[in-house]
Amino acid sequence: MATRRDYLSLSAAAAAAFAAPRVRAQGKAPKKLRILILGGTGFIGPHEVRYALSRGHQVTIFNRGKQKEDWPGPVEELLGDRNTGDLKALEGRDWDVCIDNPTTLPFWVRDAAKMLKGKVKQYIFVSTISVYDANATPGADEAAPLAAYKGPDPMAETQATVAKDLALYGQLKAISEAEGRKAFGEGATTVVRPGLIVGPGDETDRFSYWPVRLANLGDRWGPVVLAPGDGTDPVQFIDARDLAEWIIRLAETRTTGTFNATGPSTPMLMKDFLAGVASGVRANPKLQWIPTQFLRDHKVRAWSDQPVWIPGQGETAGFHRRSIARALKAGLTFRPLPLTAGDTLSWFKTLPAERQVKLRSGLTPEREAALLAEFMGSNGKG
């Protein structure tokens, strides 16, 4: 279990990693762009819209109109549904750049391209780091082999089939990337492959779990926090705001090519990650590190039961060690982890009480307590 001295040393290590100043473009952009965002109301979309407006750009969003936002400036909203092929609102229009946020299905890219080919100067496709075929090699970059589609017809896949077979997600994203390049050309296409996207608005709780858990050391939760592994597994993630703002800057600089988009800028270990989160939520947690094998034996799943965490050995040795050298060279910057954690917790506290009670990722208080008790007992500490 971590002592007060352990926590302070972890916090000091984390603080050193977060000491770099936050650098991003401020004020108005040199040139006003007409930006079309396909989506615009999901996780990163609202951040893109608000940052683009702050930079003086003209923004149009295209979606089904199911989710309304209160924008800080004028935003043109076009209604349609890519799932049904209703793209008529895009007909006869042109923009400087199109940012394609929500696409999982290749036919969405194909059909949008029929409307937008020759009508936009740059196409930015938001893909995923899950497009890669394997995750065993640390430091692998954008040239690593992609996952091969194994179904009968990628253009016939639907959101329902992806929901049943999650392996399709990365495969179809890879095909969607290729479809975008084919339609708009290599010289006008930018592919952004984010890692785990985190921060305020994280409805999956794949990051939110940790700020919430470390800030809750009483009530339903016990005073000891179960921490996965030994603290030395690597961690990569990106704040949705950093991702969104960088995408707008890629449009401003007309930067094309393919980029892994995750962070932080220097390698981070799980122990530093938890220290950074604790700092952001002003907590002083007592951590009990539980060996990976014990967690496997007790069917504690990495990524879902223990969010963010993936073992840094074997077939997942490179999952959180993707090279981001190209993105850093292209101007990707990061907020400090404590800021992301604190902002996430503040956002989470605005959610309805019933939503806060049941996290969508992570261990329940009851299961965490049972696992801790069994581990302590089996090691003669109970």
pLDDT tens digits, 63-90: 998 878 889 999 999 999 999 999 999 9
pLDDT band at residue 41 under the 50/70/90 scheme: confident
The domain over range 31-194 is classified in CATH as 3.30.70.120: no
What is the per-residue burial (b if ≥16 Cβ within 10 Å, else e) of 15-51? bebbeeeeebbeeebeeebbbbbbbbbbbbbbbbbbb
User: What is the CB neighbour count within 10 angstroms for residue 104?
Assistant: 18
Q: How far is CA 377 from CA 97, 291, 347, 370, 381, in A?
A: 59, 14, 37, 11, 6
Residue of higher predicted confidence among 381 and 203: 203
pLDDT at 10 exceeding the cut of 60:
no
| Distance, CA of 190 to chain centre | 18
d(CA 270, CA 285): 14
Are residues 258 and 191 in contact, defined by beta-carbon separation less than 8 angstroms?
Answer: yes
Strand partners, 11: none
pLDDT at 26 exceeding the cut of 80:
no
What tokens were used for 305? 């039961």
pLDDT of residue 189: 98
Residue of higher predicted confidence among 250 and 202: 250
Q: What residue has token string 């530093």?
A: 272
pLDDT of residue 380: 59
pLDDT of residue 24: 62
Per-residue pLDDT of 169-198, as tens digits, reads: 999 999 999 999 999 999 999 999 999 999
Which sequence spans correspond to the domains of the chain? 31-194
pLDDT mean over 131-151: 97
Q: How far is CA 171 from CA 48, 160, 218, 362, in A?
A: 26, 15, 43, 26
d(CA 131, CA 232): 26
Q: What residue has token string 């292209």?
A: 330
DSSP 193-232: EE-SEESTT-TT-TTTHHHHHHH--STTS-SEEEEETTS-
pLDDT at 232 exceeding the cut of 90:
yes
Give CB contacts under 8 A, 24+ apart, made by 344-353: 344/198, 344/199, 344/200, 344/202, 344/207, 344/208, 344/211, 345/208, 345/211, 345/212, 345/215, 345/280, 345/281, 346/200, 347/200, 347/201, 348/208, 348/211, 348/212
DSSP 150: -
Return the amino acid letter for 134: A
d(CA 132, CA 141): 10
d(CA 25, CA 333): 10
d(CA 241, CA 116): 27
Q: Which residues contact 90 (CB under 8 A, 6 or more apart)?
A: 36, 62, 78, 80, 112, 115, 116
pLDDT band at residue 102 under the 50/70/90 scheme: confident
pLDDT of residue 45: 94
pLDDT band at residue 12 under the 50/70/90 scheme: very low
pLDDT at 11 exceeding the cut of 60:
no
Q: Which residues contact 110 (CB under 8 A, 6 or more apart)?
A: 155, 179, 183
pLDDT at 378 exceeding the cut of 90:
no
Give CB contacts under 8 A, 24+ apart, made by 9-15: 10/271, 10/272, 10/274, 10/275, 11/275, 11/278, 11/279, 13/271, 13/272, 13/275, 14/272, 14/273, 14/275, 14/276, 14/279, 14/337, 14/338, 15/279
Question: What percent of the chain is predicted at pLDDT more than 90?
Answer: 86
